[in-house]
A and B are shown apart, each in its own frame.
Chain A
Amino acid sequence: MVMAKTFAVIGLGRFGSNVAKALVEKGFEVIVVDTDEEKINEFSDIAAAAFVMDATDEKALKDAGIGEVDCAIISVGQNVESSILITMLLKELGVKEIIVKEVMPIHGKILEKLGATKIVNPERDTALRLVSSFASPRIFDIIEVSPDYSIMEVIAPKEFWARPLRDIHLRRDYHVSVIAIRRRKTVMRENGIPDLQEEILIAPGGDDEIEENDILVLLGKYQDLEKITKL
């Protein structure tokens, strides 16, 4: 049997509370922590446990069982000191996965050194997506998987149409890999209304041909991915 993953969300600002709600909706066991009683009350009925406490207090963290969770998400607003201290305490308590919302780039570097497993910066990620969509309307979505690599959904350039992947040499010539191809097909529903049905070709092979209107899901360095959008 697969054990359900347990989470702790420390700090219930906009980011933290949205993450906590999404986790609860997905059916995960979530412990929430904040110093603001009002915010905690919002979660008292839906979270596995909700604590009004200062998460920089080691004993309080231990008593709340935060050391037992599989993953902790720290989002304590602009308070750099607190998030550094909490990261350190959680590491000491043995939390395997620690995700921290970065306040500024140097903060992220310190957190990495302290053992945070993932640093997130939602504002920067959103800005990157927004700028990319302005820069090229052919970009559908972009996800940063590491500081160097991103996954980008891009409309298949015209010069790729009706060609098998092995002829395009995406890896050799563009240094990107095709993770998937999103393709929409037309269908007529039983009620006589036409519709679109999406199929996703995961890890397409060399024989797979790119069709007009396909959306390619590519993995690579941002500057290499960007080249594809300019074809």
Chain B
Amino acid sequence: MKKKKGQEPADRFQQLLEEGQFYFVNQQYDTAQELLEEAVKIRPDARALYTLGLIFEIRNEMEKACEMYRCALALDPNLKEAQVHLEKILKK
């Protein structure tokens, strides 16, 4: 049987993550959020959730940011950036 053409989910995930991070760094937060949420639907991923946390943090939506950082840490306890941001918010 011939393999169906089109993007594999893993490739699609990677593309969404990279584009989401690109738009985040370029301060286009709405677009970044859409792309990263799409990426998380394909695969729950610590980096995508962490970047979503940063988007909420920069918008001063701290409860949502904490939730994202906690989810990111549940998936990857070694993601120290998420730990640092979570601790900083909780200290407030």
Contacts and interface: CB of A to CB of B under 8 A. Distances in A.
B19 to A, nearest CB: 12
A89 interface: no
A140 B88 CA distance: 13
Interface in B15-30: 21, 24-27
Interface string A135-164: 000101100000000000001000000000
B7 interface: no
B33 interface: no
Interface string A106-129: 000000000000000000000000
A186 B60 contact: no
Contacts of A213: 58-60
A215 B59 CA distance: 10
Interface of A: 138, 140-141, 155, 184, 186-189, 193-196, 213, 215
22 contacts: A138-B60, A140-B60, A141-B92, A155-B60, A184-B57, A186-B25, A186-B26, A186-B27, A186-B58, A187-B25, A193-B47, A193-B81, A194-B24, A194-B25, A194-B51, A194-B54, A195-B54, A195-B81, A196-B54, A196-B58, A213-B60, A215-B60
Contacts of B26: 186
A187 B51 CA distance: 11
A90 B34 CA distance: 63
A30 to B, nearest CB: 24
A160 to B, nearest CB: 14
Contacts of B57: 184, 196
Contacts of A184: 57-58
A140 B92 contact: yes
A194 B36 CA distance: 13
Nearest to B85: A196
Contacts of B58: 184, 186, 196, 213
A135 B1 CA distance: 64
Nearest to B50: A193
